[in-house]
Amino acid sequence: MRLFSGFLSSKLEECTTMLCPDVETLCETLNSSNMLGLLNAAHMLFQDSFDGVLITTPDIDNPSILFVNAKMCEMSGYRQDELLGKSPALLQGEKTKQSTVERLRSSLSKGTPFHGTAVNYRKDGEEYHVEWKVNPIKDTSGNVLFFLSVHRDVGFIKTFIANVIGTSPSLKQAFKGILAQNSVRKTVGEAEKHDVEFNDHDEIELFDDFNFDANTSSASDVRETENTNDATTAADYLKKTDLDYNDILALSCIIEECVANIELAKLNIKRRACLQDCLSQLHEFANIVFMMDEFSSISTALYKLVDTLLRHQHFLEKAITLEIMSSLIYDLNTWISDVFVNQTAEDIHQFDASIIGSVEQMSVIMN
């Protein structure tokens, strides 16, 4: 991070794009000649990020927001001018755990990164869950210039888990066991007064109020409800989008090869090699889909799956991996057919939840 800030200071100090008059005023209060250049660089780097990004002053007790990107405004419901100069505490509320806030303060006071989850609140009062990472950005002398905070909305994970455990009693019991083990681990640590922060399992806090018996709508149902009025048919999408026919042909060929590999794996014919080949094909598939802005979430999910399984290849031997990969491949096959080939899909996003859900299911199993 020190090299990062030093690079921005030297290379982007000349950047003159002003984020906002308020930002310039706040920068002056920091007595840092490099601050404006760094914030302008942040605008260039993070404005179009898929995650919400905040940059605040290095004041732990009363930080002020210096920069906020478009995704953060979308997540929170606030306009940029409503957030600049305010404290990030504006996003907190009744269900925001003070223990998490205190752990954040402890990490930042030590000059170390923070990683956790929290309940935040939109401008309209609606709560949403975020994965939350905060890094102190330092100059070459080790002085903290500002805090860089990245927020990712992970509320869909609770919906997804509810759907998964609702279809499998064994997964429900396994997940309960994970939560119980984490709870005991924290309790023992507190009882023994260990000076240890349980950062590695902080994501479990998402499920502190989890209701295992609640009836939860599926992720696809939720999305369909939210976007009924915004649905785009496959025919309309392809009319207004300049897609290369060769890309569609390539996607179809890749999926056909994946289907063949899955069927061979089901017959226990070189299962590991077939799934490895399938992962390689999915990476190529994701590269093509990545160029289609409308489906960036699908490409991101596929990149995540490929990267995770290539780093933990022993999971390729497990039956559950083949089952999930099979479901994913056939969903992708249907998606390609209904959206791009036959163009019969009434909503080009009707398969998103299922495809992304398979990836998240694999992540849950591996964790």
Tell me: pLDDT of 194 over 80. Answer: no
Is residue 327 a contact partner of residue 259, using CB atoms and an 8 Å limit? no
Mean pLDDT in residue range 205-228: 46
Tokens at residue 203, please? 């994501």
Report the C-alpha gap between 217 and 117 in whole angstroms: 23
Residue with tokens 């590269």: 287
pLDDT tens per residue, range 76-96: 999 999 999 999 999 999 988
Query: At 288, which helix (H) or strand (E)?
Result: helix 271-290
Tell me: pLDDT of 19 over 70. Answer: no
Tokens at residue 107, please? 């990490």
Tell me: pLDDT of 16 over 60. Answer: no
Question: Average pLDDT over the chain, rounded to whole?
Answer: 75
pLDDT tens per residue, range 298-341: 888 888 888 888 888 888 888 888 888 898 999 999 999 999 99
Tokens at residue 311, please? 């780093």
Tell me: pLDDT of 287 over 70. Answer: yes
Spacing of C-alpha 80 from chain mean position = 22
**106: Cβ–Cβ under 8 A, 6 or more apart, which residues?**
197
Residue with tokens 């399992």: 201
pLDDT value of residue 85? 92
Residue that wins the pLDDT comparison between 33 and 135: 135
> What count of Cα atoms within 13 Å lies in the side-chain half-sphere of residue 366?
21
Q: Which of 69, 21, 75, 82 is nearest to 41 (CA)?
A: 69
What stretches of the chain adopt beta strand conformation (E)? 52-56, 65-68, 114-121, 127-138, 144-153
pLDDT value of residue 365? 73
Query: At 148, which helix (H) or strand (E)?
Result: strand 144-153
* pTM for the full predicted model: 0.47
Q: Which of 16-20, 36-40, 126-130, 215-219 has the lowest mean pLDDT?
A: 16-20
Is residue 217 a contact partner of residue 159, using CB atoms and an 8 Å limit? yes
Tokens at residue 268, please? 């226990």
Is residue 128 a contact partner of residue 119, using CB atoms and an 8 Å limit? yes
Report the C-alpha gap between 150 and 97 in whole angstroms: 18
pLDDT tens per residue, range 56-74: 998 888 899 998 998 999 9
pLDDT tens per residue, range 136-192: 988 778 888 889 899 988 776 666 666 666 655 666 666 666 655 554 444 434 434
Identify which of 114-128, 159-173, 187-201 has the greatest average pLDDT. 114-128
Report the C-alpha gap between 162 and 218 in whole angstroms: 8
Mean pLDDT in residue range 342-361: 85
Mean pLDDT in residue range 108-118: 87
Q: Percent of the chain beyond pLDDT 70?
A: 68
